Structure 1
Amino acid sequence: SKEGKKEAEKDGKDSKKKKESKVKLVKKKKKAEKAEDPIFGVPLLTALEKNPSDDGIELPAIVRECLDYIEEHGLMCEGIYRMSGVKSTVQQLKAAYNRHEPVCLSEHGPQVVASLLKQFLRELPDPVLTSELGSKFEEAAAIKDETRRVETIQKLIEQLPTPNRLLLSWVFVHMTNVIRMEKHNKMNLQNVSIVLSPSMQISHRVLHALFSHAPVFFKDVKIIKYVKKMRPDSSRQSLDLPETPAAIEEELSQQEQVLSEIHAELNAGLRDPQKEEQLWEVQRVVTQLKRKLRVLRQVKKVPVEATRADSVEKIDTRLRQPAAAEPPPPQPSTEATAPVATAPPPTES
């Protein structure tokens, strides 16, 4: 029948639409997956290649940025690293790093940034001490003679690949700073070890040995503040500057610190063409940051001034209304006033 034929055609169209919808969803999902070039869950060397530090230090930029933020804002935060940040926010930041999008950590709290760093370390597929040397570190930590134990562990640290050695040393120097602030953050050696052991895949025995002689193992290690290089925007022959005043001020502070360090080196008599070129580049960045910050502040003031002008105009309009609308002024009184008594003039005698 005709009705049966129409029903069959309708079912066929519905089925086709469902298939097309599924195909679109699959394509969309694949596109989203392709958009990510993850730095989480990959070997440390791969993460370093995909997310390098601009200043040549062989650590992923995410590690540098997280350490800098917590060193500046989180050392006195109670339960730092022990208390977790908001999971959804941490996942959003992780996704942004995996997509290589700009991330402003200053918009988030220390707990969120600490959780992000822990997740990065925890998702490294290989132990920081490496599979080859891990058992040797265990054996060294069990040596009873302290001098021989320290010497053996020192030699093992030197055998680590550079990125692994840097990651280990920077994290330990940072965690030593955390423990130093125990009075405020309530994070003693035991609490830090509980957090660090699963994150870095290091046993408590080895952690204790490393912390016990950290000043020896990491005596020359200094956490160098990371300043991300301003990258040119291909669509505009200019730098891809931050968009908000807060982000610009943070970037400006970092660039000015670098500028100060370069000036100090050059003033000390160090003549390095690369340093001089870097000085010029940083000065250019600082100039553009200041210019953009000034423009943003002026734009912010304009609406306020315009509002004030409108307000004055309204007042003037009311003042120019016809005088008839106002009540007439009171008339002067016509009643006579009593004369003031005066003394008669003196008469001549």
Structure 2
Amino acid sequence: MDQLIAKGKVDSTSRQSYYDSGERAYNALMSALESSKLKQIIQLQYHFNSYHTYLKSSYEYLDKQKDKVLDIVKNAENDYKNFKSKEKQKQLVWVPVSMSGDTKRVFGMSYQEVIERDQYHNKILPFLDDSFKYLEEKGLRIHGIFRVSPPKPDLDSLRERIDRGEEVDIWGIEEIHLVSGLIKLFLREMSAPLLTFELYGDWIAAIDEVSTELQIQKVKTLVNRLPEANRVLLYRILTLCIKILANQEENEMTIQNLAIVLSPSILKERDTDAQSLVDEIHKANKIMVFMLENYDALFSNF
């Protein structure tokens, strides 16, 4: 068409119509491009707003959860220290009494047997007695008490000293989680759980009773059937937990938190397969929660 126009073979009306069509096509194309750019800009703005909202909510969440995040960081740091101290851990390998001839061992033993062997008339080991008093004075408001783990090498060293019969100054320990970790370690390594293997079925039956009144009656009877040393230690543990729960707004340790970290060491079956382990832990948690919720009724005459 341009060549025909150049040669004068197209009249003025057709020529104008041609140019008008071209202009309209050009304008339509530019309009489409601008519209496309605008759409992209709107999409980008939407994405930026979404990221801004996401980041804002993330920062708000982190600010609310900062204490838990600090717990995670602290545990990670402790794990790193444990990893870096392999040589030190080798030096702290615990040697059983049967191999070392040491008659002062208390970890990994029957609690009642240790109390009878060493003739503790108040039915509580001195380092445990000091640990409970220490936590009652210094640890009730500590965030994550019993949940946060101390460095393993420090805990192993403390256990070694106690098993050698050394006098350990619990009150001289600065890391509060080390003292709570020591109590957990002792409970976990007992050769028989605090509520005993023999009474496991009775504990489960008691907690499955239909009424709270019957549950309290049966649990109270079972507490009285425990060896005296076990009964005293159970009372000290639950009493400490009650005091921790009174400060849970500061330490963020709920009744469920305490049950989760302590109950697996207090009640378990003698032989447990992997399939029934989860159910066993659930039942132990349930019993621990029940004893804490009904502490006054169970231990009013203790």
Normalised by the length of structure 2, the TM-score is 0.59
Shift of 1:165: 1.1
- Maintained 8 Å contact 1:84/1:115: yes
- Maintained 8 Å contact 2:194/2:265: no
Counterparts of 1:157 and 1:135, CA distance in 2: 14
The higher-RCO structure (CA 8 Å, 6+ apart) is: 2
Distance change (3 Å), C-alpha of 1:182 and 1:51: farther
Q: 1:141 aligns with which of 174, 194, 207?
A: 207
Distance change (3 Å), C-alpha of 1:195 and 1:70: same
Deviation by residue 1:31-66 (Cα, 9 ceiling, x = unmatched):
99235631100111232245554xx21122222111
Q: Does 1:184 align with 2:250?
A: yes
Q: 2:285 aligns with which of 204, 220, 223?
A: 204
In structure 2, the residue matched to 1:78 is 143
Distance change (3 Å), C-alpha of 1:88 and 1:167: same
State how 1:178-257 maps to structure 2 within 5 Å. Answer: 178-201=244-267, 203-221=284-302
Counterparts of 2:119 and 2:155, CA distance in 1: 21
Q: Output the amino acid matched with 2:202.
A: K
Normalised by the length of structure 1, the TM-score is 0.52
Return 5+ residue gaps in structure 2 as ranges: 1-94, 269-283
In structure 2, the residue matched to 1:306 is none
Deviation by residue 1:301-347 (Cα, 9 ceiling, x = unmatched):
xxxxxxxxxxxxxxxxxxxxxxxxxxxxxxxxxxxxxxxxxxxxxxx
RMSD: 2.1
Counterparts of 2:300 and 2:227, CA distance in 1: 19
Return 5+ residue gaps in structure 1 as ranges: 1-28, 222-349
In structure 1, the residue matched to 2:132 is 67
In structure 2, the residue matched to 1:39 is 106
Q: Does 1:106 align with 2:171?
A: yes
Q: Output the amino acid matched with 1:37.
A: K
Partner of 1:58, secondary structure, is coil
State how 1:96-175 maps to structure 2 within 5 Å. Answer: 96-108=161-173, 109-175=175-241
- Maintained 8 Å contact 1:51/1:61: no
Shift of 1:107: 2.5
Counterparts of 2:300 and 2:257, CA distance in 1: 23
Q: Output the amino acid matched with 1:88.
A: P
Q: Output the amino acid matched with 1:210.
A: M
Shift of 1:80: 0.6
In structure 1, the residue matched to 2:7 is none
Structure with the bigger percentage of helix? 2
Instruction: Provide the aligned length of Structure 1 versus Structure 2.
Output: 191
Partner of 2:199, secondary structure, is helix
Distance change (3 Å), C-alpha of 1:62 and 1:50: farther
Partner of 1:131, secondary structure, is coil
Deviation by residue 1:136-186 (Cα, 9 ceiling, x = unmatched):
011010111111111111111111111111111111111111111101111
Shift of 1:128: 1.1
Counterparts of 1:154 and 1:59, CA distance in 2: 21
Q: Output the amino acid matched with 2:114.
A: A
Counterparts of 1:80 and 1:188, CA distance in 2: 11
Q: Output the amino acid matched with 1:46.
A: E
Partner of 2:144, secondary structure, is coil
Counterparts of 1:161 and 1:149, CA distance in 2: 21
